[in-house]
Structure 1
Amino acid sequence: MTTAPAASPAVPLAAAPSNDAAPLQPLLSDAVIVLRAPTQVWSDRDGAMGTAAVHGVYHGDVRHVRSLTVSCDDSAIEWISTAPDGPSRIVFGGVLRGVDDTTPDPKVRLLRERTVADGRVTETWALRSRMDAPIRTTLRLGLHPEFALLHEVKSGHARPQQTEVEIGAGSARVSAGPQRLELIAAGADVASVPGGIEASWEVEVPAFGEATVTWELVLHDDTLVVGGATAPPRWDAAAVAARASDPRLARWLTTALGDLDALRLMLPDDPDDEFFAAGAPWFFTLFGRDSIWAARLALPLDRDIAASTLRVLARLQGTLDDAQTAQEPGKILHELRSSSLEIPSEGISLPPRYYGSVDSTPLWICLLADARRAGMPAGEVRALLPALRAALGWIRDSGDSDGDGFLDYIDRLGTGLANQGWKDSGDSIQWRDGSLADGPIALCEVQGYAYEAALVGAQLLEDLGDETDADDVMFWRAWAADLKERFAAAYWIETPEGRYPAVALDREKRPVDTLTSNIGHLIGTGILDADDEARIAELLRHESMSSGYGIRTMSTGAAGYWPLSYHGGSVWVHDTAIAVHGMRRAGLDEAARAVVGELLDAAEGFAYRVPELHSGDPRAESSVPTPYPAACRPQAWSAAAAVVCLTVLSGQD
């Protein structure tokens, strides 16, 4: 074995983008992803990595490889095809006219198959020839290890780590503290070059024949806090897709269920309890709200992953009051990382275990009740009653920071998330004039979640608890009735756009008057009367809120509206699906089916892998939905939206 330090990139490797300009978040819409959580590979459509800021091989919260190239000594490779096969396999196809004859038809081609598994990336290169004489050439792989932290990549501040390189026979090992990778390249000449590793194969393709080479990257991270699911999914994707009456929905389900499969994770200490990672590339971990909603929307597909998500989050439930982590007794986790999340440009510093969400706790209770109705065994539900009591206790004791009777949030340290609902960007809660609301913020939808949680929590305690729960059952039913009455008095407003609930109450208890998609989350929770649910459903379908490809996050009538605003005018598929989910529960079937039609049009426009969000541009101006270029994909709750559409169109749970 030889040991050598890595230096600057060599000629075969793609050069990293210039850092002369101000750092920007990477764009994702044109990149190709192959994944199996917690591993993901982002590249160009030809499979190469290094020219775009997001490119690379990631494992957990670290980008292990920044750039990767393939070349042939005797010919340029002209890539002509990109063929995904599910979430974890893709084949790139190219022609090599430099070693071909002069006839028009290409006779020499390279097929590059890439597969991704948990901690493993494998490529097989098949060089095929229709020539009547043998071809001898050299194929080369160049890769540039980096080991940059994921949040640094996201912020545009990726910093390569110092590495040590060991070269062996047909292999290389690169390490950077707790992270390391191994290149296994049988039959190759492997060398350390400035900036990285190069592997080369001398190949001979017989006349009318084929030659193949295979290499593999094995990725390790001693700090990893999540692992990939080991069991196969519990659903038959083909059987589920066959239930769809619309062929577009069948195609969306096929893609979405594959993505949900690839997004399954577990915690190493509890490998049998799976949950959905929030999404790629930035959220390949446990997120309380996201994992709960994904499990809830996909509940007709898989009851067991809902149950295991509940157990995982119960094990991490808050037990003490800690401003640094936003933890409070009974509170459900917001996100889990292997290291602190630092976003200097936004003044954000989140600890590895962070509890800064106001809605995860009531949503956990709602999912528990939904899972029980879906058949979760009574014994499993009873085992979670202590967590249920603690979660209800958080709603009563800590969820209302200022004592006005509504659940609210405020970042106590100033380094956490300023907004702690699902719209967690700093400018997401605006007045109609575009000015920002001051906290504590009491979001409208969180009151709906809390109302539902109080009632279903009381029912669970009555059905499965013991005699000591009797007083709590009465308390929570009375609490819910009081909340419903106070919500009706405090939140309903009238503006030139109509009568609807305010998105939130601000610090002065004033109703923040912007018309937003948040009100769609109220439908089906029970906090609204039937007539008001129908009124909200109608508003959400009005042209100011409906883009034709889903429900906008903010009305076009608001001063802050912009179709490419993250939470101020874009369309989030899961957000629209939650409104549809509520419409169905409220018996508003016609409205639900109409909105499902918009989601199907969006899915078709994105080739059935629906991203995290897209532009709110009206359909009348765009024949296909416009991407939000930094949107993650796949995203678990966006994929789970396809299951909601199936239940609406089929009329079956």
Structure 2
Amino acid sequence: MEYRVIKENDLFLLTDLSGDISDSKAGQGLYTQDMRFLSKLTVTINGDKPILLASEADQNYISQILLTNHDVRENGELVLWRETVEIDRTRFIYEDVLYETIKATNFNPVRTKFRISVAFDADFADMFIVRGFQNGNVGSKKPIRQLESGVGIGYDGLDGVKRELLVEWGEKPLDVSVSAEGASVTYEMELEPGESHAVDLFFTPVIDGRKPQRHPQAQAIQALRDSYADWEQQSTAVTSDHDLFNRLYDRGLLDVRVLLTDVGEGRFPVAGLPWYAVPFGRDSLITALQMLPIHPELAKGTLLTMAKFQGEKVDEWRDEQPGKIMHELRKGELANTDQVPFTPYYGTVDATPLFLILLGEYVRWTDDKQLLEQLLPNVKRALEWIDVYGDPDGRGFTSYDRKSAKGISNQGWKDSGNSAVHRSGQFAEAPISLAEVQGYVYQAKRLLSELLPGVNGAGENMAAWSSKLAAEAEQLQERFEKEFWVESDQFYAMALDQDRKQVETVTSNPGHVLMSGMLQKDRAAAVAKKLVSKELFGGYGIRTMAVGETAYSPMSYHNGSVWPHDNSICLIGLASEGFHKEAMTVVEGLLLAGSYFENNRLPELYCGYSAEQGKPVPYPVACSPQAWAAATPLVFVQAMMGLRLDYGNREIALRPALPSGMNTLSVRRMRLGSGVLEIEIKRQPEGFVYEIVSNTTGWKIAKA
């Protein structure tokens, strides 16, 4: 990554590698609620930008950057030798306050005097303006006010919200300067050889007078460390003799933790950094689904958050309809003044069935039927959206058709404007019915038909409701096989267009349908084979589009790139349907890719070039960390265990398989129901064997 980012809850900081906010046009800054509260932050020594020595990004909650000085001359005389002063910048975020310590150490053999200056400013730019997506009417910045131990930079928003950045310090500086370009503070230090001195700065966004509490630094950093330790302790512990997998697993677990946010209904994962640190229907739901075997509680916070913002009315500006689950929620000035339709925006066709899938799978994993009972009204409205608004012309398939003038044209997970394309090169016209969405709807209805008879329906005839959903799922399965199968390709179309014509382009979309269990057995085998064919699988993962298709480009966002989360959903289906060889091929490809990225962090996506052509080619603007990419190595665990739940019979089926180079896998603290499953898997000459170390779940282990 050519940037550094740290986050905690709803505040994140994006800087260059030296820790500076030096290029506001590149989006660097301190953000909360989709507004930039810090657009400039630079450190100089005797007026010069220091030399970067090291910039660590292995920990998400704390950043440490080492710098040193250039030669410093005054009136032609050398007064400070190059690389004699070390500057250590350490920063972290806790409870919506950014803490930064700047420590200088003198490595000169004589007593040395120098000045450290910190300059800063706030432009209060809306995220949409920062990213160049939108211009708009905005409020006005106020004159900087000086405080006893800091300064305040204020802004009166056009949305009526008063915003202010407070910059405070622990030690009084030598000089405080205020101008139209912002403010700066200067500290003069005179240090003996080997002596160090540190100064502390605190950056606090204040919204409508609500100032977060600032804690003593030692207390704040310890509380932050403790929260990460608790997260790790509450998650499934996984180790192996494969060092690369261990690193990817640990990195993924840390990255999901940093992306957690709570807007009042419990913690859930936002989509990713730096641009999508907001509630995101599809991304948050899929990440929580990926995390069920690792940290099931995330699903509850995600479900309650999505239920809170479930659509209530028809609003074409926001692509909102009753029962629909949101796509994206923004709280910036442009959203608040209705200049963009994101309060929230509902232009997603898959979030609603994914909401139902996550709820069903969460209940299967946790036995938390109370949550299902609590959310039954939301379930009913979501099903009504699928059957009515999701299928307005009675085609029998859930489809999308944008209404908002500023909405998203393609509303599946491949939401770029050119992603739904025929082999002729012609873009598919809406309404469009995506293959994976039909699988999601089938899976949602099957899960609910299984679970509803066991819950209190508050007046509903649960048995009749269950039977109805099961019948609807079966009918959908029949229609799907008839209309989506492309005999000449031995594969499924990615979609049907407005004329019910197949979008026959070979893509990864049908791989998601494997997860649903909807496909005919022989055709499921054909899908599994195609996913790891040389056209779709290039060695680093399954491509979004096959080589040779008219629209294929390895550099395309959705038409030939590799998305780890896309692979993970295919992987869940491959493993659950018994295609373990293909599943391990995908795991091995993603592990290989992960070996090349900084800190073994799988990014949002990377280009689809073949491994034969060299190492993975990064996608220029990929988010990293990205929630569903971070959770992808965690999905490997479920796939390697070959774990499948038979909820009706309370049986756990295990059919383990390990990737090349891995001979042992240990899984501890995997929560299921009210108990824990712990297992050891080993590679033996005769195949893979497992030992149940502990099973307090109340579930039986099915015989192989």
Which of 20, 23, 27 is residue 48 of structure 1 equivalent to? 20
CA offsets per residue over residues 275-295 of structure 1, 9 Å max, x none?
A: 111111221111111110000
Shift of 1:45: 1.4
Conservation of the 8 A alpha-carbon contact between 1:277 and 1:285: yes
Match of 1:72 in 2: 45
CA distance in 1, matches of 2:583, 2:298: 26
Match of 1:409 in 2: 400
Match of 2:123 in 1: 146
- Structure 1's 223 and 31: CA in aligned 2 closer, same or farther, altered over 3 A? farther
CA distance in 2, matches of 1:120, 1:103: 35
CA offsets per residue over residues 524-552 of structure 1, 9 Å max, x none?
A: 20210222222111111111111211111
**In the alignment, structure 1 residue 185 sits paired with structure 2 residue 169:** yes
Which of 526, 530, 540 is residue 539 of structure 1 equivalent to? 530
Match of 2:257 in 1: 261
Which of 445, 449, 454 is residue 463 of structure 1 equivalent to? 454
Which of 172, 181, 194 is residue 208 of structure 1 equivalent to? 194
Match of 1:586 in 2: 577
Which of 253, 274, 281 is residue 267 of structure 2 equivalent to? 274
- Structure 1's 308 and 534: CA in aligned 2 closer, same or farther, altered over 3 A? same
Match of 2:415 in 1: 424
- Structure 1's 74 and 558: CA in aligned 2 closer, same or farther, altered over 3 A? closer
3-state SS of paired residue (2:468): helix
Conservation of the 8 A alpha-carbon contact between 1:549 and 1:601: yes
**In the alignment, structure 1 residue 398 sits paired with structure 2 residue 384:** no
CA distance in 2, matches of 1:181, 1:462: 54
Mapping of residues 437-452 of structure 1, within 5 Å: 437-452=428-443
Mapping of residues 474-553 of structure 1, within 5 Å: 474-495=467-488, 498-553=489-544
CA distance in 2, matches of 1:572, 1:365: 24
CA distance in 2, matches of 1:71, 1:110: 10
Match of 1:14 in 2: none
Conservation of the 8 A alpha-carbon contact between 1:237 and 1:258: no
CA distance in 2, matches of 1:563, 1:85: 29
CA distance in 2, matches of 1:239, 1:491: 39
Shift of 1:254: 2.0
Match of 2:697 in 1: none
Match of 1:17 in 2: none
Match of 1:616 in 2: 608
CA distance in 2, matches of 1:314, 1:58: 26
3-state SS of paired residue (1:133): coil
CA offsets per residue over residues 539-596 of structure 1, 9 Å max, x none?
A: 1111111121111111111111111111111111111111011111112122111101
CA distance in 1, matches of 2:372, 2:315: 28
Conservation of the 8 A alpha-carbon contact between 1:320 and 1:327: yes
CA offsets per residue over residues 507-535 of structure 1, 9 Å max, x none?
A: 00001110011111011202102222221
Calculate the aligned-residue CA RMSD, in Å: 2.6
- Structure 1's 88 and 583: CA in aligned 2 closer, same or farther, altered over 3 A? same
3-state SS of paired residue (1:80): strand
Conservation of the 8 A alpha-carbon contact between 1:235 and 1:301: no
3-state SS of paired residue (2:249): helix
Mapping of residues 13-24 of structure 1, within 5 Å: none
CA distance in 2, matches of 1:109, 1:324: 54
Conservation of the 8 A alpha-carbon contact between 2:576 and 2:642: no
- Structure 1's 293 and 199: CA in aligned 2 closer, same or farther, altered over 3 A? same
Shift of 1:642: 1.5
**In the alignment, structure 1 residue 319 sits paired with structure 2 residue 312:** yes
Match of 2:153 in 1: 174
CA distance in 2, matches of 1:102, 1:135: 9
CA offsets per residue over residues 120-143 of structure 1, 9 Å max, x none?
A: 222211111233332221100011
Match of 1:5 in 2: none
CA distance in 2, matches of 1:183, 1:334: 35
Shift of 1:171: 0.5
3-state SS of paired residue (2:317): coil
- Structure 1's 245 and 235: CA in aligned 2 closer, same or farther, altered over 3 A? farther
3-state SS of paired residue (1:614): coil
**In the alignment, structure 1 residue 135 sits paired with structure 2 residue 126:** no
Match of 1:63 in 2: 36
Match of 1:647 in 2: 638
Conservation of the 8 A alpha-carbon contact between 2:40 and 2:120: yes
Shift of 1:168: 2.1
Match of 1:110 in 2: 87
Match of 1:351 in 2: 342
Mapping of residues 292-303 of structure 1, within 5 Å: 292-303=285-296
Between 1:101-110 and 1:428-437, the stretch displaced more is: 101-110
1:400 maps to amino acid: D
Conservation of the 8 A alpha-carbon contact between 1:572 and 1:612: yes
Conservation of the 8 A alpha-carbon contact between 1:433 and 1:558: no
2:601 maps to amino acid: R
2:353 maps to amino acid: P
Shift of 1:89: 1.2
Between 1:37-46 and 1:149-158, the stretch displaced more is: 149-158
Shift of 1:450: 0.5
Shift of 1:431: 0.6
Match of 1:291 in 2: 284
Conservation of the 8 A alpha-carbon contact between 1:248 and 1:600: yes
Match of 1:119 in 2: 96
Shift of 1:146: 0.9
Match of 1:249 in 2: 245
Conservation of the 8 A alpha-carbon contact between 2:43 and 2:118: yes
Shift of 1:119: 2.4
- Structure 1's 218 and 105: CA in aligned 2 closer, same or farther, altered over 3 A? closer
Shift of 1:76: 5.5
Match of 2:359 in 1: 368
CA distance in 2, matches of 1:158, 1:192: 29
- Structure 1's 239 and 482: CA in aligned 2 closer, same or farther, altered over 3 A? closer
CA distance in 2, matches of 1:412, 1:242: 46
CA offsets per residue over residues 443-479 of structure 1, 9 Å max, x none?
A: 0100000111111112222221446233222211111
2:275 maps to amino acid: W
CA distance in 2, matches of 1:474, 1:149: 49
CA distance in 1, matches of 2:569, 2:497: 24
3-state SS of paired residue (1:353): coil
- Structure 1's 594 and 238: CA in aligned 2 closer, same or farther, altered over 3 A? farther
- Give the TM-score normalised by structure 1: 0.88
CA distance in 2, matches of 1:50, 1:253: 33
Conservation of the 8 A alpha-carbon contact between 1:295 and 1:305: yes
- Structure 1's 307 and 376: CA in aligned 2 closer, same or farther, altered over 3 A? farther
Match of 1:20 in 2: none
**In the alignment, structure 1 residue 236 sits paired with structure 2 residue 213:** no
- Structure 1's 220 and 464: CA in aligned 2 closer, same or farther, altered over 3 A? same
Conservation of the 8 A alpha-carbon contact between 1:523 and 1:533: yes
CA distance in 1, matches of 2:625, 2:394: 40
Between 1:477-486 and 1:203-212, the stretch displaced more is: 203-212
Between 1:82-91 and 1:517-526, the stretch displaced more is: 82-91
Shift of 1:108: 2.7
CA distance in 1, matches of 2:134, 2:330: 19
- Structure 1's 547 and 473: CA in aligned 2 closer, same or farther, altered over 3 A? same
Match of 2:213 in 1: none
